[in-house]
Amino acid sequence: MMMNPFGGGQNPFGSMMNFIQMFGQFGKGFQGNPQQSIQQLLNSGKMTQEQYNQCSQMANNVMQNKELVSQLMRMFGGRV
């Protein structure tokens, strides 16, 4: 049996899908250019270079996971 790295439930991809859906909803409500907004925080000193790098890495991970979930949904007919 596959262990669920996201905790709970029998479907190891359910929590990941919920996270991606919530992130998508956040993105839809965001106004402006997110990359530009983060860059402005860095330029103004409100965010450190380390925080910027962490934010960038998290964004890359989310996008990779989103693509993985999309591929799995296509493979399993949306029942992931």
Nearest to 39 by CA among 22, 19, 53: 53
Please state, in angstroms and as integers, the Cα–Cα distance from residue 70 to each residue in 10, 29, 44, 50, following that order.
19, 22, 36, 30
Residue 19, in any domain of the structure:
no
Residue 15, in any domain of the structure:
no
Domain range for residue 45? Answer: 33-80
Residue 80, in any domain of the structure:
yes
pLDDT at 1 over 50: no
For the record, the structure tokens of 57 come out as 């890495």
Residue 52, in any domain of the structure:
yes
Number of folded domains in the chain? 1
> According to DSSP H, which parts of 1-80 are helical?
14-29, 34-44, 49-75
**Which pLDDT does position 13 carry in this prediction?**
61
Residue 12, in any domain of the structure:
no
pLDDT tens digit sequence for 4-51: 454 555 565 667 677 767 767 776 777 777 778 888 989 999 999 999
How large is the average pLDDT for residues 53-68? 80
Residue 76, in any domain of the structure:
yes
Residue 7, in any domain of the structure:
no
